[in-house]
Every structure is written in structure tokens, then in C-alpha cells.
Amino acid sequence: MKKIGVLTGGGDCPGLNPAIKAVVNEAHQLEYSVLGVKKGWKGLIENKIEKNYIQCLTPNDVRTLDRLGGTILGTSRTNPFKSESTEKKLIRNIKRLGLDAIVAIGGEDTLGVAARLYKKYNFPIVGIPKTIDRDLSETDYTLGFDSAVKKIMEEIECIRTTAESHERIFVVETMGRHAGHLALVGGLVGGADMILIPEHDFNIEKVNSLLKRDKRTGKRYSIVVVSEGAKPKNAHEVLLDKDVDEFGHVRLGGVGDYLAKEIEKGTGLETRCVVLSHLQRGGAPSEKDRAMGLYFGAAAVEAIYYQKYGRMVSVRDSKIALVDLEDAVKKLQLVDVERDYDTNNYNVKKRPRIGRYVYL
């Protein structure tokens, strides 16, 4: 009987719980047992982990999970490779628990650790892609993206009525880190008048002249979606503070406020900013995140069954596939500006329509 560990790391999002449910159910079918590891990699480098960080999971424990957002296992941004001692603890704890394999559900950092664990120790590991940023390579989908896009759409819908009443410009700041997928697709389905993404630096004079043109042509209000990683030409990203996490990431945020002030100054039009922040990661999973979580979770255990380790389950051309974990985390999947972004109007490229790439 195999013993599988499952953990969720990095920023939480809807879709994690459905994936945990499927891992447990599929493992049960194969008569494997599942240990839930709490708080991501942190749960494997602490002392007394059996008492505080390990939970045996049975199908009964996960029965209703597909409806729930967040992660019942908790999460953290812990890098066990940050020091020799935490790395040793990780290996020791994995051995002590008698884990035969691990399913790691996460983004570039959590899966980066998984790739390293596989490469350095040949430990049997399979990854499941999750991040609202949708920036992992080698997959057309990452859990959480759809729910976050839906949230952006709903919030823009709300902002629209007050924007129209007051004839204001609204800047809506989204997450996404260095990738603009979330802003681009959220802005598309929310009907934004302008979308600014990290992959293409914006020119503030151009932003203002496009907005003034819209006003002249009769628009009573405008919605500008800006990704937290977007920045004006020749400037740095706007940061929330100077701290970096254990993986060396800065905390982005504040470009929306900056932009609102610059727009009001440059256009003379009343402008407000709304930062969607963690609302985008909250709430129940969308239909798609439930389905994808269930597909990915079951496929990850199947990969373990066939001993396909060092892989990440992925979706390519509407089919579940297995790709190399290392390739998935080697470089970020960013917006293809040439293909998908209209740099003249700062919005989604309208053409070509036939044969165009479709964001899942």
C-alpha cells in the first residue's frame, strides 16, 4: 500500500479543494493512503509535524470539498531549500512519514521546490498547476484563473453603475504579478475600455489622450483595468513595501492609485481607483475550477500509479497531459504581446479572429 502526501503552497485560490478531493478519492480507489500536509512545504520542515501539520485524509473527509474555495490544508510561501538545515529537515521528515510520493499543488515557487526535490533526490513527485496569475509554462490552464476572472468581471459590473452615474473614470487594479493574463481576460469579459499589462510598458500621455478621445466621442465613463505589475515607460514597478518573500519575490501593488492621479491630472476628468486585491482569490470555485481541480487531482494520482514522476499534470488542446515539472517552472508564461495585445489602443487585440489563440 502506497502512502501519498498532498500539499498546497503559495497563494490560495478556488480550485485547490476540488483537487485535494480528487487526489484522495483516486488514491482510495487504488488503495493508497493519503496524508494531507498542512501549510505547504512548511508542514514538512517544522518540528513535531505529525502532531501539528499532518492529517490523514479519507473520502469521507473530502466529500464536500469541491464546493469550497481556499484550501483545507492551509498554505504558506515556504522555501525548504532556503538553508541546508531546512533542506535536511525536509528529507528527514519525508522519510520519517514513510511517504512514497507527493502531490504538490502550487505555482512556480511550490512546483519549483518539487522540481528540485525530484532532480536532486529523485523523490517521486507530481505537480498540479495552480495560480490565478496563469503564468506557469507548459499548460493552457492553472487552477484559480477562471474564478479570479469571474470575480474581476463581477466587480467591474458593479463599478460600472456608479461610474456612469458620476461620469467618472475608474481604474481597476488586478493581481497577476509579472503576467498580464488576468488583467487581459478580466478586462475583456468585463468590457474594459483600456487594459494595461506588465508585458507592455504604457505611456501616460497616450493613456490620457485615449481617454480624452473616448470622452469626446460620447463615452460617459471609462473603465481602465491595470495589472499590478504594469508600469509606465522607463519606470519601476510600484511596490507595496520593500520586503521580499522566501523565493525573492517583491510585493506588487499601488499602480492603480498612481494611475488614477495621473489620469485626473492629465485629463481633468474625475478618476477613482479600486484595488481588487485578495477578493480575486476568494470565494467558491467556478464550474471550471471545480472540474479542472477534479481532473487534475485524479490525473496526478494516475501519474503516480504509472510511476511518471517529476511531472506536472497539465492541459493542452483540451486534453490532460503530463509535462516535465522542470520545464513548467523554468520560465514564466507571459502574455504574447504581438499576438494578443493591441499596443495602439491598450486593449485586447481584435484581429485575427479566425485561428486566434483562445485563453481557457
Residues that bind ligand F6P (CB under 6 A): 11, 107, 131-133, 175-177, 228, 252, 281
> Is the Cβ of residue 214 or residue 228 nearer to ligand F6P in the bound state?
228
CB-side exposure of 79: number of CA atoms within 13 Å?
Answer: 15
Output DSSP code: residue 236.
Answer: P
Q: How far apart are CA 245 and CA 261, in angstroms?
A: 29
Report the 3 state secondary structure along 261-292.
Answer: HHHHHHHCCCEEEEECHHHHHCCCCCHHHHHH
Which candidate in 133, 135, 214, 289 is catalytic? 133
Query: Toward ligand F6P, which CB reaches closer, 94 or 113?
Result: 113
By beta-carbon proximity to ligand F6P, the closer residue of 5 and 11 is: 11
- For residue 35, the minimal CB distance to ligand F6P (Å) is 25
DSSP string, 47-80: SSHHHHTEEEE-TTTTTTGGG--S-TT------G
Of residues 76, 67, 93, 104, the one with CA closest to residue 290: 67
Residue 186 Cβ, how far from ligand F6P at the closest point, in Å?
A: 12
Residue nearest to ligand F6P (CB): 175
**End-to-end CA separation in angstroms for the chain:** 37
Dist. CA 244–CA 316, nearest whole Å:
33
Question: Rounded to the nearest whole angstrom, what is the least distance from the CB of residue 261 to ligand F6P in the complex?
Answer: 22
Nearest residue (CB) to ligand F6P, 199 versus 228: 228
Does residue 239 contact residue 136 with C-beta atoms inside 8 Å? no
Cα 129 to Cα 313: distance, rounded to the nearest angstrom: 7
Shortest spacing between CB 143 and ligand F6P, in angstroms = 12
Q: What is the smallest separation between the CB atom of 135 and ligand F6P, expressed in angstroms?
A: 8
In the residue annotation, 327 being an active-site residue is answered as no
215 versus 249: smaller Cβ distance to ligand F6P = 249
Q: Could you give the angle at which helices 255-267 and 204-216 cross, rounded to 10 degrees?
A: 60
Instruction: Name the residue type at position 102.
Output: I
Catalytic residues: 133
